[in-house]
Amino acid sequence: MTMTFPHYIRAGVDPQAPITFEWDDETTNVFLEDARLAQRVGASTARGIAALSIGITEWIVYRFSTLSDDPMPSTYLEAAWVGLINWDYMNVKHGTKLKDWKGPVRRPLFLAIRTLKESLEMASKGSFPAEWTVYLYFLTLHVLPDPKPFRRWLDFALTRMATHFAGDDMGTPVPREALDPDFDFKPEQASALLDNYLRKVAATKNPYLTLPAAP
């Protein structure tokens, strides 16, 4: 399965846009805090917050998709959705080193995946990584050519998570389609959507996954 980015990201981001944002590997700090946003994010379950983190990271990875041919970020994202189904299926550690990811394309990609890893690790232990989701939000704002479509999507995504995946526990797995504004998601669809995604990914050799053998 080759990672296909959702239509709402492809419509909202030009991946060929030139780099116009300021970036310095040593001094750039885009990991800011927003208590109000963290509160909205934190209304979701641990899995719901992790799903938001994955969904936000997809915007970052797609933004650089024509500027970097390294498969690691998209491969990791593909596995992350499986991790939400069963944490034991995913090797959360990305296995890459900071020194190999330099410059205004590769360093933001590395930071996005590293931040996502932290979010997934916390969620898999039953914690609530809202602050890591907020960090990803600010990184996304920094690198996108036009952040308005992203902001609109995030407002929708937060509302949908609060509607269907609210709680103070681990929560149920979140299908990727739950973050699609044009998909009329109903909770009773979740099982079939998750099974379909898992079947597709099982046919790949994703290095971040250890899936059970088919019966």
Do 34 and 142 contact (CB within 8 A), yes or no? no
Phi, psi values for residue 24, rounded to 5°: -140, 125
CB contact set of 125 (below 8 Å; sequence gap of 6+): none
Predicted local distance difference test score (pLDDT) of residue 121: 95
Which DSSP string do the residues of 152-195 spell out, in sequence order?
HHHHHHHHHHHHHSBSSS------GGGG-TTS---GGGHHHHHH
**pLDDT band at 215; cut points 50, 70, 90:** very low
Angle at 206 between CA 113 and CA 89, to 5 degrees: 80
Domain range list for the chain: 31-202
Structure tokens at 155: 């407002």
Over residues 146-187, the pLDDT tens digits come to 999 999 999 999 999 999 999 999 999 999 999 999 999 999
**pLDDT band at 18; cut points 50, 70, 90:** very high
pTM of the model as a whole: 0.96
Q: How far apart, in whole angstroms, are the C-alpha atoms of residue 121 and residue 140? A: 21
Predicted local distance difference test score (pLDDT) of residue 213: 63
Q: What is the per-residue burial (b if ≥16 Cβ within 10 Å, else e) of 137-170?
A: bebbbbbbeebeebeebbeebbebbeebbeeeeb
For the chain, the distance separating the N- and C-terminal CA atoms, rounded to the nearest angstrom, is 20
